[in-house]
Amino acid sequence: MAAFGVLAATMGLVGLIAPDALLRLMGFTPVAGSRRGAGDHTPAFVTASSMAALNMGVYYVLAALSDWKAFFRWTVPFRLLTCAVFMLAVIGGRAPSGFLGVGLWEGIGALATGAALRHESRRAPGSGQVSAAVS
């Protein structure tokens, strides 16, 4: 969780500070501002998504520092959804092949998180069962 958070926050900062570098990392060819067509909102999109990534990264780091298991569980299905959306965007021709890396990162992250949560719940015998039996 913390590693994902740091990476997301870092990529968000890159997008805010050097948007063309982020576009290149994602498989896009940056266009100079003077060559942008009317109605090209790429800079606004990169700014908005970068700010979202920075915020999300901080949320993940804070959740990891507080060991917030509920948050970890919530991320699994949503990261799998994100994986599917990015993969389908590439397959459907809406995004460059560089987005496959984003989809794989999300999918692998979701599976690793789910596996870690499952392993941890099995490692702590009776976790959650005592409180249910008492109440």
Per domain, the residue ranges of the chain are 1-31+41-66, 68-127
What distance in Å separates the CA atoms of residue 101 and residue 107, rounded to the nearest whole number? Answer: 10
| pLDDT, position 131 | 40
This prediction's pTM: 0.75
Give the per-residue pLDDT at 49. 92
Tens digit of each residue's pLDDT, the chain (135 residues): 899 899 999 999 999 999 999 988 887 888 876 677 888 788 888 999 999 999 999 999 999 999 999 999 999 999 999 999 999 999 999 988 888 988 998 999 999 999 999 998 888 665 554 444 433
